[in-house]
Amino acid sequence: MKIPEYFKGITGMAGNPSTNNKEKLKQLRGVKVQFVVDDKDSYWMSSAKKSHQLLLELEVESTLEIIKNGEHVLESLVGKGFLDRANRLIN
């Protein structure tokens, strides 16, 4: 959030912003944010849902993808799976 002008997008895969400070999060306007979590990882899924909703309220472009029957480490997204999602951020 200190240098958002250097990023087109951010992907959180079992990850979330380290703050709920709305003024700091507003700095992500203009940066595409996507969360990817699995449906069996209840802690991260719940946290990602909350962060996603907060970003939308702050007018930050955010998406949330929940992977069915995934695992905490989304090995199925290594390589092409991740790159396909990363390309969504720049297109």
Give the C-alpha separation, 85 to 23, whole Å. 27
Give the C-alpha separation, 4 to 61, whole Å. 13
> What is the rounded average pLDDT of the residues 11-17?
82
Query: Given a cut of 80, is residue 72 above it in pLDDT?
Result: no
Tell me: the pLDDT tens digits for 38-70?
888 888 889 999 999 999 999 999 999 998 877
> What is the rounded average pLDDT of the residues 23-34?
94
> What is the rounded average pLDDT of the residues 11-36?
90
Give the C-alpha separation, 36 to 14, whole Å. 7
Whole-model pTM?
A: 0.85
CA dihedral 61, 42, 44, 86 (to 10 degrees): -50
